[in-house]
Structure 1
Amino acid sequence: MQLDFWQYSQGPVERIVVLIAERAIKDGQRVLVVDGDAERRAATIRALWEASPEAFLANGESGDPHAERQPILLSDTCTSANGARFAILADGKWREGGEAFDRTILLFGQNEVAEARKVWRQFDGREDVTRAYFAQEDGKWVKKV
């Protein structure tokens, strides 16, 4: 599993999710976006629909009648009704089931740094997990070593 830690300093989170989801869709992935905040999930849905004319980012919410057909699915749990192998934990919280994906991105801000560090350490020594850490600097994503 690829586990990426993305620390943002400029939001909003829903715009960052759009950036990540758009790249994943271009790579032929289905995406699960996990966020415990219902209002932010709704904002993310709007941002995905309004992203850009050339990037059609169809999406739906877990529990919708056609959830399994959606290329991007939003939920408050790591349950992937759409068969996604790519997950974005948009609220900075690690959840049971996060390891079940081929790639999981933990997106977090300054307030979630301590929790993200705990998650990083949780995977110390795991040969089946490749970790990477990216930070937003001057509006660009920079891989840290």
Structure 2
Amino acid sequence: MAELWFYHLEQASVDEALPELLTKLLARGGRAVVASQDEARLEALDAHLWTFRDDAFLPHGRDSEPQASRQPVLLSTETRNVNGASMLFLLDATPIEIETLADWDRVVVMFEARDEGGVSWARELWSAARKGDAEVSYWRQNDQGRWEKKA
């Protein structure tokens, strides 16, 4: 079963934090699926991942495009592992069944502090994961912007 890592974004937005996490994963040879039920979010991320830094971009694609299985980062409205990814990033209260966690090595649940619905969703998922004996951890950014494991 996958580890669930809950990233509580109090200082950074998803648009700021996600590209850096994906960059680190790709540098280690990993692959990812980024799932959101918000089509507008996925469209914005699709553009943002090409331009988030002047000196870098993240190769990625949409699951609706040809050769989706070849993409190192796949943007999707579903939590299917189309590209052989080890990590799933869940955004925008995208639901996942605890039983399907075996498809992933790690699931990163990202939620912004200013989004009350997202915080509520993360709490419910945390509770369900704990009841299902999943390994969970909670991460927050410190004042320097580095991630620290808090639970």
Deviation at 1:77, TM superposition (A): 0.6
Name the structure 1 match of 2:11.
10
Give aligned-pair identity as a percent: 31
CA distance in 2, matches of 1:107, 1:44: 14
Instruction: Normalising by structure 1, report the TM-score.
Output: 0.87
The residue that corresponds to 2:91 in the other structure is 90
How many Å separate the matches in 2 of 1:124 and 1:133?
12
Measured against aligned partners, the alpha-carbon deviations of 1:69-98 in whole angstroms (never above 9, x if no partner) come to: 110000011012211121100224332375
CA apart distance, 1:62: 0.6
Report the equivalent of 1:130. Answer: 135
CA contact (8 A) 2:130 2:136 kept: no
SS in 1 for 2:136: strand
What is the CA RMSD across the aligned residues, in angstroms? 2.0
**Structure 1 counterpart of 2:109, from 94, 106, 109:** 106
Q: CA deviation at 1:54?
A: 5.2
Number of residue pairs the alignment of both structures matches: 144
Q: Note the residue ranges of structure 2 that are not aligned, 5 or more in a row.
A: none
> In structure 1, what is the Cα distance between the partners aligned to 2:46 and 2:124?
29
CA distance in 2, matches of 1:56, 1:103: 23
AA of the residue aligned to 1:31:
A
2:141 maps to amino acid? Q
Supply the AA of the counterpart residue of 1:114.
S
Structure 1 residues not aligned, in runs of 5+? none
Distance 1:53 1:109, change over 3 A: closer
Checking the alignment, whether the CA contact within 8 Å between 1:32 and 1:73 is kept in structure 2 is yes
TM-score when scaled to structure 2?
A: 0.84
Q: Equivalents in 2 of 1:2, 1:90: separation in Å?
A: 16
